[in-house]
């Protein structure tokens, strides 16, 4: 009998469970965990009444049975939407996840979280601030937990998170997300005191890996769904990757 060894922390299940479960739901995290993942990426935004919860898009249209912009929804109503049926009948009725539910999951299973701050339009700073505050509070209750990695495409969100972390003297890693890599993005990440830079896998070359490492940062890439690409990127020295394919790590 072979013992299943959990995947190393270079592998992040994208949006909780990749394409195997409805993104950004608790069911997705459970599926990702069962598949062997011990690092998880998800997208975090604010409800109208200030609850942090998981959704990728600005609207509810694609991944729930509700319609329209997400920003006006209160959490008590968001909990009632079906965020599972769009994926498959197996997940019918699965509600969206709150950040607190995901933090509970991380504490229970001792896994690592990458919380991508995905603000509703115009809520960049307040969302960055809220995520940083909640994570610092959680870490105070869970001193042995792996510190979540906070990332965002929004510099304003990251700067607001940084201000909170500095004010609270909290050591929580940040990563700047960019669709296109260039030297300016790298310097921006350095100026932010970020732990890493996250970018599209197609931006990654050995020279880019070397440049990022030379500035003391980690480089991670989204969304890698092909085994050959993953193998090549890791051989180039990439520090982490986000995948929708839960079978990919075992194929390398």
- Interface segment toward Mg ion; rule CB under 5 A; list 82-90, 108-116, 133-141, 213-221: 108-116
In the complex, least distance from residue 222 CB atom to Mg ion, rounded to whole angstroms: 7
User: Which residue of this chain has its Cβ atom nearest to ligand G3P in the complex?
Assistant: 222
Is residue 23 within the footprint of Mg ion (CB under 5 A)?
Answer: no
222 contact, one of Mg ion, ligand G3P, none, CB 5-8 Å limit per kind: ligand G3P
**Residue 41 binds ligand G3P (CB under 6 A):** yes
C-alpha angle 57-101-28 in degrees, rounded to nearest 5? 60
**Which residues have C-beta within 8 Å of that of residue 8, sequence separation ≥ 6?**
38
CA dist 60 and 40 (Å) reads 22
Q: How far is the CB of 12 from ligand G3P (least distance, A)?
A: 8
* 11 touches ligand G3P by CB under 6 A: no
Q: Residues for the chain: how many in total?
A: 252
Catalytic, 87? Answer no
CA distance 11 to 238: 11
Beta-strand pair 174-178/218-222: unpaired
Pick between residue 49 and residue 246 the one whose CB is nearest to ligand G3P.
246
**Greatest alpha-carbon span in the chain:** 54
Residues 144-203 that bind ligand G3P (CB under 6 A): 151, 177, 198
Active site residue 109: no
Smallest separation (angstroms) from ligand G3P to the CB of 15 = 7
Rounded to whole angstroms, the Cα distance separating 29 from 41 reads 9
Judged by beta carbon distances under 5 to 8 A according to partner kind, the member of Mg ion, ligand G3P, none in contact with residue 151 is ligand G3P
Specify burial of residue 49 (Cβ count, 10 A radius: 0-12, 13-18, 19+).
Answer: exposed
To ligand G3P, the closest distance from the beta carbon of 200 in angstroms equals: 8
> Which stretch of DSSP H or E encloses residue 230?
helix 227-235
CA distance 237 to 29: 27
Q: According to the binding rule CB under 6 A, does residue 56 interact with ligand G3P?
A: yes
Catalytic residues: 14, 56
* Interface with Mg ion (CB under 5 A): 43, 116
* Interface with ligand G3P (CB under 6 A): 14, 41, 43, 56, 116, 151, 177, 198, 222, 242
């Amino acid at each position: 009998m072979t013992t299943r060894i959990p995947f190393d922390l270079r592998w992040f299940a994208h949006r909780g469970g990749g394409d195997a479960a409805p993104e950004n739901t608790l069911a997705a995290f459970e599926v990702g965990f069962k598949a062997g993942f011990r690092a998880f990426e998800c997208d975090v935004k604010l409800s109208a009444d200030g609850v942090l919860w998981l959704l990728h898009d600005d609207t509810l249209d694609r991944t729930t049975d509700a319609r329209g912009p997400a920003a006006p929804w209160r959490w008590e109503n968001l909990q009632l939407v079906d965020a599972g049926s769009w994926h498959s009948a197996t997940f019918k009725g699965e509600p969206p996840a709150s950040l607190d539910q995901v933090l509970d999951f991380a504490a229970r299973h001792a896994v690592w979280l990458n919380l991508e701050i995905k603000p509703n339009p115009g809520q960049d700073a307040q969302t960055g601030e809220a995520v940083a505050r909640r994570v610092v509070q959680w870490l105070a209750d869970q001193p042995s937990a792996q510190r979540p990695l906070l990332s965002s495409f929004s510099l304003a969100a990251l700067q607001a998170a940084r201000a909170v972390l500095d004010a609270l003297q909290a050591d929580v890693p940040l990563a700047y997300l960019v669709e296109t890599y260039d030297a300016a993005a790298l310097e921006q990440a350095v100026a932010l005191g970020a732990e890493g830079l996250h970018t599209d896998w197609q931006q990654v070359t050995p020279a880019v890996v070397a440049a990022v490492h030379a500035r003391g940062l980690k480089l991670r890439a989204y969304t890698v769904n092909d085994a050959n690409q993953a193998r090549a990127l890791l051989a180039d020295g990439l520090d982490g990757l986000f995948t929708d394919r839960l079978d990919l790590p075992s194929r390398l």
